[in-house]
């Protein structure tokens, strides 16, 4: 079995601390930069490629990172995870989101059930339901087809599925596979649900309630909001709603829903896009075949992530470089910058994925750690971000590592030549220019116009955002976060940090408050 050690107990961490730093500006200038771009990259699944030429690493540092991976037993720990070890120590649970898209190792049996078979069965049930909806076999009260699907959920029940839907919406329109428009309700703020309902033909809408426990306050509040709206329209909510929940929740066998599809405790919300949580809405929106392609792309990247050599494993190497930047170079944040409008909500999903997983100050045994862990994650799509926060990224005092994502083709197929180049060429020109500008900078005697450079970045490139490339991209980041958690000796699969606020909110609503909590309650007229 793998041995779990804190990051500061690893000899390779000390070696990295004592290794010379790379002059990124010099390394990326002229022919040096050209050679690095050709040399420093690793193929990913589905035609994607991870290029880290503009990161502040060289062969010596990479050698030390390989030693770090070996000493931290990253490959062994991943193998234990996908073979069913209790990796989630805080909740004493297995971690099985990889099983929703493929079998990497041994059969995993939990609660007397083959879990891969369980997940496949739910996917088959969802596919059958979606096909019947699309064929008009499952219809509304008037015998009319449903045209819209609305997901009600929060956190991982919203961010991932919403980001995946938006990533594929234009692709599906261009390829004739958009079956139903999808909308999402997440915030307990009634303006969120009202905005969605006011712009939705509720008579032809099917609503998905997503709650593993069946007790999530925000989700159940929004469910009631939706049910009231349906009743107001003279509609029976039971004929418009399905549930995605656990088999033991009060939603599981409930006549108030057309159907219930199941998840379990072994898949955290932020890792649930490839489970029934994403499967129901994406299969209804695009068809089960498209969701199957999405799973196929994720499974293909998972297989690469199981490679023990970091220099052949882009997920692991991306994680290791991130650890080097966080713990050795002292960089506190990372910006995710997709040059693709399809990925407009992808940074928001990655923000939860990373910060909820590795935003910890105790190790997997509950003991304090005294080194930095997960970075702050933020981002927006290019080129919008260039006209927003790139000023700080280029000339601010803090150096923030960057992760670009770029594709050679758009999804819509519309790309007129305007002023000598197409829109897609202009988009790609911008991302290429930004990488070099951040790395190399520009000297100017006018200090206001001087760019220091030395700002590290990587880029993942691909041909086009498709279901398969999207699945591979999602799996890459899920695995990256996992490997970083292993390096830091964290439990990346619980999220106790969200619980205290929930507890206090219930006290406020029950009027069981005193001190500052009571005063803030009065301030907000609760």
User: In b/e form, how buried is each residue of 368-378, taking b as 16+ CB within 10 angstroms?
Assistant: ebeeebbbebb
Q: Find out whether 371 and 8 touch, Cβ atoms under 8 Å.
A: yes
Q: Find out whether 310 and 316 touch, Cβ atoms under 8 Å.
A: yes
Q: Find out whether 95 and 266 touch, Cβ atoms under 8 Å.
A: yes
Q: Where are the beta strands (DSSP E) in 4-139?
A: 41-43, 49-51, 109-110, 113-114
- In whole angstroms, what is the distance from residue 398 CA to residue 400 CA? 6
Q: Does 394 qualify as catalytic in the annotation? A: no
Q: Kindly name the residue from 223, 301, 325, 356 that is annotated as catalytic.
A: 356
Distances in Å between the Cα of 431 and the Cα atoms of 153, 167, 404, 473 are: 34, 19, 8, 18
- In whole angstroms, what is the distance from residue 199 CA to residue 205 CA? 11
- In whole angstroms, what is the distance from residue 93 CA to residue 96 CA? 9
Q: Kindly name the residue from 38, 39, 173, 387 that is annotated as catalytic.
A: 387
Comparing CA positions, the residue from 212, 220, 213, 230 lying closest to residue 186 is: 220
Q: Does 303 qualify as catalytic in the annotation? A: no
- In whole angstroms, what is the distance from residue 216 CA to residue 25 CA? 50
Q: Kindly name the residue from 17, 502, 506, 512 that is annotated as catalytic.
A: 502
Helix (H, G, I), strand (E, B) or coil at 196: helix
- In whole angstroms, what is the distance from residue 462 CA to residue 471 CA? 13
DSSP letter (8 states) at residue 189: S
Query: Catalytic amino acids?
Result: 356, 387, 502
């Amino acid at each position: 079995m793998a041995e779990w050690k804190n990051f500061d107990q690893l000899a390779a961490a000390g070696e990295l601390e004592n290794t010379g730093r790379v002059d990124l500006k010099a390394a990326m200038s002229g022919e040096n930069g050209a050679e690095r771009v050709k040399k420093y990259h690793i193929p990913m699944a589905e035609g994607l490629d991870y290029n880290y030429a503009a990161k502040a690493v060289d062969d010596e540092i990479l050698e030390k990172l390989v030693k770090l991976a070996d000493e931290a037993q990253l490959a062994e720990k991943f193998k234990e995870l996908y073979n069913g070890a209790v990796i989630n120590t805080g909740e004493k649970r297995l971690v099985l989101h990889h099983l929703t898209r493929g079998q990497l190792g041994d059969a995993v049996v939990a609660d007397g059930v083959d879990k891969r078979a369980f997940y496949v069965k739910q996917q088959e049930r969802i596919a059958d339901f979606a096909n019947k909806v699309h064929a008009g076999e499952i219809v509304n009260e008037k015998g009319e087809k449903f045209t819209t699907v609305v997901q009600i959920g929060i956190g991982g029940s919203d961010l991932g599925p919403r980001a995946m839907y938006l990533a594929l919406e234009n692709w599906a329109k261009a390829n004739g596979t958009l079956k139903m428009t999808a909308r999402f309700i997440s915030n307990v703020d009634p303006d969120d649900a009202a905005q969605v309902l006011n712009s939705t033909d509720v008579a032809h809408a099917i609503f998905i309630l997503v709650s593993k426990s069946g007790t999530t306050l925000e989700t159940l509040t929004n469910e009631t909001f939706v049910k009231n709206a349906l009743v107001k329209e003279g509609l029976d909510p039971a004929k418009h709603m399905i549930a995605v929940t656990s088999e033991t929740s009060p939603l599981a066998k409930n006549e108030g829903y057309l159907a219930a599809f199941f998840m379990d405790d072994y898949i955290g919300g932020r890792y649930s896009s490839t489970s029934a949580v994403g499967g129901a809405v994406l299969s209804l929106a695009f068809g089960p075949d498209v969701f199957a392609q999405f799973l196929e792309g994720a499974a293909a990247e998972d297989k690469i992530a199981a490679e023990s050599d970091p220099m052949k494993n882009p997920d692991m190497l991306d994680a290791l470089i991130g650890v080097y930047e966080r713990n050795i170079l002292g960089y506190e944040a990372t910006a995710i910058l997709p040059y693709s409008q399809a990925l407009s909500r992808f940074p928001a999903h990655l923000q939860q994925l990373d910060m909820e997983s590795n935003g910890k100050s105790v190790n997997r045994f509950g003991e304090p750690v005294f080194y930095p862990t997960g970075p702050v994650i933020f981002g927006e799509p290019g080129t919008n971000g260039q006209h927003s926060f790139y000023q700080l990224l280029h000339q601010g005092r803090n150096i923030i590592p960057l992760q670009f994502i770029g594709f050679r083709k758009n999804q819509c197929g519309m790309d007129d030549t305007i002023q000598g180049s197409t829109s897609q060429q202009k988009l790609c020109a911008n991302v290429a220019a930004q990488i070099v500008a951040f790395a190399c900078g520009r000297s100017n005697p006018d200090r206001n116009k001087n760019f220091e450079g030395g700002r590290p970045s990587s880029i993942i490139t691909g041909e086009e955002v498709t279901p398969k490339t999207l699945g591979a991209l999602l799996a890459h980041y899920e695995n990256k976060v996992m490997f970083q958690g292993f390096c830091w000796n964290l439990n990346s699969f619980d999220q106790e940090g969200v619980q205290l606020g929930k507890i206090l909110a219930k006290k406020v609503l029950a009027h069981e408050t005193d001190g500052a909590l009571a005063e803030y309650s009065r301030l907000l007229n609760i």
